[in-house]
Amino acid sequence: MIEEKGILFVLSGPSGVGKGTVRKALFEKDTGLKYSISMTTRPIRTGEREGTDYFYRSKEEFEKMILNNNLLEYAEYVGNYYGTPRDYVEETLEAGKDVFLEIEVQGALQVKKNFPEGVFIFLFPPSLEELKNRIVSRGTETEDLVRNRLMAAREEIEMMDAYDYVVVNDKIETAVQKVQSIVRSEHCKRERVAVQYKKILEDDLA
């Protein structure tokens, strides 16, 4: 019996494309995926909870974690740090469970260096116009920041080639279904490898 490790799935894409929205809808379904809760220095928002949405830490605590190599990746994003705790990801994968990260593009590219066997999904806006509408309608950004985010989005979109899959986030439910299909299809790939390996062992014994 071969011990199967879990699969690391990474959902990423430009700010405002709908990563958080798609991830939340995905986790309402029974996928068996384990969500890796990130560490951040940004202030907690009303309705959020420590240890559910994020682990909220001071800048000093976060920088200590960087120095101790406790983060699989981290990025500075709009003045705050965000990072993925290394132990949770490694231990969960080791236990044979799949891990799901929802992170911005710089972080996803760092993960790809450490975990090239991960499955990288790029969430793509239906158009730049719609991306702008989503950033504006969320109402969290000033006009200048909206412009900065759109400029950053153009650069982020250029990174798309580094990803295994691209999902257009037109209708939320369709995008979620596509991500679910990717998860299922990756399971089938692993199963195929496992079956082939088993067959080789049996052939050797025959």
Ligand X SMILES: Nc1nc2c(ncn2[C@@H]2O[C@H](COP(=O)(O)OP(=O)(O)O)[C@@H](O)[C@H]2O)c(=O)[nH]1
What residues are designated binding site for ATP? 13-20
- Say whether residue 96 binds ligand ADP (CB under 6 A): no
| Among the residue ranges 92-100, 101-109, 121-129, 155-163, the one whose residues contact ligand X (CB under 6 A) | 101-109
Selected from 10, 99, 104, 179, the binder of ligand X by CB under 6 A is 104
SS (H, E, C) the chain: CCCCCCCEEEEECCCCCCHHHHHHHHCCCCCCCEECCEEECCCCCCCCCECCCEEECCHHHHHHHHHCCCEEEEEEECCEEEEEEHHHHHHHHHCCCCEEEECCHHHHHHHHHHCCCCEEEEEECCCHHHHHHHHHHHCCCCHHHHHHHHHHHHHHHHHHHHCCEEEECCCHHHHHHHHHHHHHHHHHHHHHHHHHHHHHHHHHHC
Binding mask 120-139 for ligand ADP (x = CB under 6 A): --------------x--xx-
- Say whether residue 82 binds ligand X (CB under 6 A): yes
Q: Which is nearer to ligand X, 77 or 190 (CB)?
A: 77
- Say whether residue 38 binds ligand X (CB under 6 A): yes
Selected from 21, 92, 177, 180, the binder of ligand ADP by CB under 6 A is 21
- Say whether residue 149 binds ligand ADP (CB under 6 A): no
* Residue whose C-alpha is closest to residue 101's, from 84, 124, 115: 84
Selected from 19, 72, 120, 121, the binder of ligand ADP by CB under 6 A is 19
The count of other CB atoms within 10 Å of the CB of residue 108 is 25
- How many residues form the binding site for ligand X (CB under 6 A)? 15
| CA separation for the pair 62, 203 (Å, rounded) | 52
- Say whether residue 19 binds ligand X (CB under 6 A): yes
The least CB distance from residue 66 to ligand ADP, in Å, is 23
Question: Taking a C-beta distance cutoff of 8 angstroms, is the pair 125, 167 a contact?
Answer: no
Q: Which is nearer to ligand X, 6 or 84 (CB)?
A: 84
42 binds, among ligand X, ligand ADP, none (CB under 5 to 8 A by kind): ligand X
Binding residues (CB under 6 A) for ligand ADP: these are: 15-21, 134, 137-138, 169, 171-172
Binding residues (CB under 6 A) for ligand X: these are: 15, 19-20, 38, 42, 73, 75, 77, 82-84, 102-104, 107
